[in-house]
Structure formats: structure tokens, C-alpha cells
Structure 1
Amino acid sequence: MPAPDLSVQASTAIGVAATVLWTNPDAPREIDAPILAADPDPRAWAAGLDTPARRDLNDRILTQLLAGEPVEVLEEHRDWLRVVAPWQPSDRDERGYPGWVPRAHVSVAAAPAEREAVVTVEETRLEPAPGARGLVSAALSYATILPVLDDAEGRVRVATPGGGSAFLDASACVVRQTGHAHPVDTRAVLAAARSFVGLSYLWGGMSAFGLDCSGLVHISFRALGRIVPRDAHDQADASVRVPLADARPGDLLFFARPGKSIHHVGFAAGTPQGTPPAEGPYLLHAPGTGKEVCEEAMNADRRATLVDLAGRLADSGDAP
């Protein structure tokens, strides 16, 4: 897709299915070509990364950005833009998560609408509308959010970045009011997180193409209408802290080594009947590179680094 005209005074957004927010323009490697292409393929990129290549991402990528996600452009450098992503709150910048993104992946944002469509399946494809331009035929990730133009006969017509429109299958999304506070209960957020069991861990992952620990938390809440911080320590700061004994399924469990900041987060997932008390509540999380999102008893290292206060971001409800 062509690079946007950034001299036009219009809001900007991600104009491809998914992209990566990099630490700097020199961070990508040759193996990262699929995610750098003008029409990136995030699934092929993730599939092409072996364990060493995934470990090498730690100082290269920060997070992922989904189609239609707003960004504010701060700086231009050749084929790159330094942006902040307001949907991903961070203590790195009060305006949103900061980093670098390929210029070709940013477009003029679609005009807002009274309703928005949220993708609720792992992946779904857009069907271009007649005369479509911009984001067309893209494989959209879970939690992608686009403005709704109209819906009928099992299809939802959404506005796409760049001024176009396309159709989503109504069974692949939910339509809700834009800008409203959406209550989130523990049953729903746990169900959202559990849908990713088996997905490979990806440092910086924040999509159905790969997730890290705090990305799993963020995307589970975002799809339900709640924007929470992107990183684990910021999620802890934003949550209501409760004693571990009072934690309910769907609350967050945080992990840190003595004298260090929080390095891991997951969901309290309840304790199956018959589980030895020493194992504590089960943990639903993205454990680390080379592993998959799973629901499991905490091992000795997890129990030793478990922070003594859980975090509550959901509103109410009890989950099994």
C-alpha cells in the first residue's frame, strides 16, 4: 500500500492487518521481512521464527499494533515513523506506547462511528466492498476494532483505514456502541484468555499470531471493551490490589524476584478439585519463549516469585 501523506491534518491509524512496534529502525533482521512488507504477513513471520530467533526479539520489538488501531506520529525517519499508541497505555509515555513502525503500515484513520465491530474469532478475513481501497482482503486478528457503517444479511460493513470499507462476517465479530464503558466480568475475561491456550509465546506479541504474558492480559480485556495497560508492571499499578487469599478466578497474579520489578503476569484460574494446597491457584498465562499459552499449576519458581497482592481489573462475577 502507498505511504500516507502525513502533511494532511488527519488522525492516523494502522492500515495493515497487524504490524510490530520496534525499538528503533535498525532493530529488524532479514528474517523479519514478512512483517516489514508493505502488505505484511504476521502469521508467516511468526511461523518462520525458531526459538533462538524468537529469543533475539527481546531488545528489538516492543508490542504489536492491529488494523485500525490509532497512532500519533511524533517523528519521521526515512521509511519509518516514531509513534505512540494510545490504546496501549504505558509509563514510557503518557500519550501511549512509544516506538517505531514502518511508514507504509500507517494510514489515515477511518472516520469514527456510533458503533464499532470487534473481531471475536482468532482470525477472519475482510471481504472488500465495491471500489474498496486501503485495507482489503486482510486476515484480521482477534480484538481488531473497526467502525461500523451498517449491517444486514449476516454481514457487517466496516470503515477501513485509508478511506475504504469492507465486510466482516457477522458471526466473526460483535457490534457494540463506540466510546461506552463496557463492564467486564471474570467469566468473560477468563473465557477470552482460555481461547488462546496452545498459541505459541512471542515476545511483544499482542495478537492471535503470538502473545506474550502481558499481551494475553491486554488483548483479553480489549476485546471485551476495556483498555488496560500493555506491560505487566503497569497492569499491576492500574489494578485494585487484593490479598492472594481473596483473589478470584480472573484476577491477575504478578511475579517478581526480590528487589526487582514485576517480570511476569497471568490470570488466576481457580484451583481444580483435589489439587494439593501447596500448588496454589492454577495459572493461565503465556509462560515464555519456546512455550505455549497454558493453564497449569504453579511450579516452585512461580510460587517463590509470586507477589503477595493480586490485581483486579475485572468488575464482578465469579468464574469456575
Structure 2
Amino acid sequence: MESMYVCAVPVATIWTSPESVRELDEEGTANPLSMNRWIAAMTVDERFALCKEKRIQSQLLYGEPVIVESVKNGWASILAVWQKTDKDVRGYPGWVPLAQLKESQPLDNAEGVVRIDVPKCQLWHPDGSPASLVVPFNTTLPMIKKEGNWISAATPDGERLVREQDVCTASSIHHFKKQSASAAAERAIEFLDLPYFWGGMSSYGYDCSGLTYNMFKACGFFIPRDAGEQAAEGESIRLDDPAAWKRGDLLFFADEQSGNVDHVGFYYGEGQMIHATASKKGAIELCTLSETSYGNRLCAVRRYSEEAGSL
């Protein structure tokens, strides 16, 4: 029987199956969780194996809702309802440790929603003492009230405070102020040098489409989770006319053997791209497209406008 849960840790990884987890991934499946310790404990090859061996699908942020379809041996088969995908119209599918989820509770006193607008955000208890949780960029929670420079939010662990300067607020997740695609590309600049992380959807590490998804989310848009599906939406822009490209357009690249879209980045203007790359640097970088191996694989340019992106 399906039921609604929320993510109860700062970042919960959505695994392909419970068997996808390796011994070295224990930190990433625990509660409490330390993304920093998990990532630091992996070599570059071990981190990239998450991709090559198709172990990870995506990630959830603290408080993000999911449908739980079933539970087996401490693992929940879930659908991430905020992550648009062709894999299931209800949300992105996969497996999450049940220990990293909590059953969703009805909330009668919410006045809207609050979204974290800084790379990392400290939470405080209502008495003003610091809570043990630091939550990542784009974490979105129900807002209870605003008092002075503090905003009270409903979290999986009860009422917590955040500083007004660290967040954006709206009447619902559908009503955050929409900003331009150019603004989305500018937000990506804030995360330069952040490690690449396959399936990454948090400010502890993004993958290529996780970066574009989250920067658009920060600008009021919900676009598809994966690069191939992002390439199927938006306005098509001519490949052979770079002068027509604008900052914030999405550049898509195809695998040379299959022809399928396997990478995406933001066009930044002046022939430059900002993207989360698994090659060489293994981080978010700003580069000149013509000086990279990606240039020859460019297969589509898409422009998202205010008509794009809804749940």
C-alpha cells in the first residue's frame, strides 16, 4: 500500500537497488548521515564507479516528499514526486534506506514554503540553540511563521529556525519567483570546483543534469531530472549558429557510439560552458567549449523560458 514519506537526512541517495550499496557506502546509507565523510572516504575511481556500475539513480534533499510503494529488509521502494522523469509519471523511482525517511505528517499551520538559497544552511532549535543539522542548497520546507529576522519551518525533526537572509519564501512550491535562464547559469558559478558526484542533487556534489535541474529549481522552474529528457523540452536553438545562443541555454552532447544524450551544461556566453564534468577535473568548471572534447559531440541546444518547468 502506497504512503507518503519525507527525506529525514540532509541528503538521501536513491539507489538502483539495495544490492547496489558497497561496504564503503555505509556512511551514505546511515542516519545520521555525513556526506562529507562518505565522499572523502572514496577514491576518484570509487566515486566514478557509482556511475559506471549504475549504482545510483538520484538523490533527495531534507524534507523532500516521496511515495513509498513497498518496504523490504529495511529498504523502501520510492518515487521522488518532485523529480520529473519518463521512467514513471508519478516521480523518479529507486530505493532508499527506510532509516533515512519519515512518514509525512499533516500540517495545518503552514503559511507557505521556504527554500534554502545558500550553499549550506544551519538549522536552529526554537530556543535559539543550534540544531545538529546543516542542510543543502534548494532544501524546501513548509513555513510556519516569520518573526524578525528568523523564519520558522516544519522539518522531519520538528519545528526549526532559519535565518531570513539564507532563504527564499513563497506561498507554495509552484509560486517561487521565476528568474531567467541566464540567472540559472549565474547560480551555477557559485558552485565552481564542487566535486562531480554521479546522481548528485545536492550542494555536496552534482552530476551534469543535477546541476542544471537544481539551478533552474533555484530560479523557479522544475525541469526533467535527466539530461536526455531535458533535451526533449524547451525551445530548439540552431546548432550551427552560436551567435544565436544566449547565456542560460542548455548545451547537450551525445555519446559517440549510441548517439544518446549523455551530458548537459549551461552556455555561459563568449563560447564558454559551465558544467559538472566527470572527466579530468571531476568537478563543476567553466571552460571554453572549443577547447574541450565535448565540442565535437554537441547535438542540441535548448532554451527554457517562463513557460517551461512545472510539477
SS of the counterpart of 2:274?
strand
Whether contact under 8 Å (1:186, 1:249) holds in the other structure is yes
Output the amino acid matched with 2:169.
V
1:211-226 to 2 correspondences below 5 Å: 211-226=206-221
- Mapped to 2, the partners of 1:127 and 1:39 lie a distance apart of 17
Alignment correspondent of 2:43: 50
1:243-282 to 2 correspondences below 5 Å: 243-244=238-239, 245=241, 246-258=244-256, 259-271=258-270, 281-282=271-272
- Mapped to 2, the partners of 1:153 and 1:137 lie a distance apart of 23
Structure 2 segments unaligned to the other structure (5+ residues): none
Alignment correspondent of 1:173: 167
Deviation of residue 109 (structure 1)?
2.6
* Count of aligned pairs: 295
1:229-248 to 2 correspondences below 5 Å: 229-244=224-239, 245=241, 246-248=244-246
Instruction: Note the aligned Cα RMSD (angstroms).
Output: 2.1
Structure 1 segments unaligned to the other structure (5+ residues): 1-6, 272-280
Identity of aligned residues (%): 31
Alignment correspondent of 1:125: 122
Whether contact under 8 Å (2:3, 2:69) holds in the other structure is no
- 1:123-163 deviations in whole A, cap 9, x for unaligned? 11111235x9xxx531100000001001112111000125x
- 1:253-297 deviations in whole A, cap 9, x for unaligned? 0001355110000000000xxxxxxxxx21110111552101111
Deviation of residue 10 (structure 1)?
5.9
1:1-320 to 2 correspondences below 5 Å: 11-58=4-51, 59-109=54-104, 111=106, 113-129=110-126, 137-161=132-156, 164-178=158-172, 179-180=174-175, 182-244=177-239, 245=241, 246-258=244-256, 259-271=258-270, 281-288=271-278, 290-298=281-289, 299-307=291-299, 309-315=300-306
Deviation of residue 315 (structure 1)?
3.3
Whether contact under 8 Å (1:205, 1:215) holds in the other structure is yes
SS of the counterpart of 2:19?
coil
SS of the counterpart of 1:218?
helix
Normalised TM-score (structure 2): 0.89
Whether contact under 8 Å (1:110, 1:147) holds in the other structure is no
SS of the counterpart of 1:13?
strand
Deviation of residue 80 (structure 1)?
0.1
- Mapped to 2, the partners of 1:48 and 1:314 lie a distance apart of 40
Whether contact under 8 Å (1:68, 1:109) holds in the other structure is no
Output the amino acid matched with 2:274.
L
SS of the counterpart of 2:59?
strand
SS of the counterpart of 1:95?
coil
Normalised TM-score (structure 1): 0.86
Change (3 A) 1:300 1:155: closer
SS of the counterpart of 1:220?
helix
Whether contact under 8 Å (1:110, 1:160) holds in the other structure is no
- Mapped to 2, the partners of 1:52 and 1:104 lie a distance apart of 28
Whether contact under 8 Å (1:251, 1:314) holds in the other structure is no
Which is worse superposed, 181-190 or 195-204?
181-190
Whether contact under 8 Å (1:66, 1:141) holds in the other structure is yes
SS of the counterpart of 2:102?
strand
Output the amino acid matched with 1:282.
Q
Output the amino acid matched with 1:210.
G
- Mapped to 2, the partners of 1:225 and 1:104 lie a distance apart of 30
- Mapped to 2, the partners of 1:204 and 1:248 lie a distance apart of 27
- 1:76-101 deviations in whole A, cap 9, x for unaligned? 11100000101111111111110000
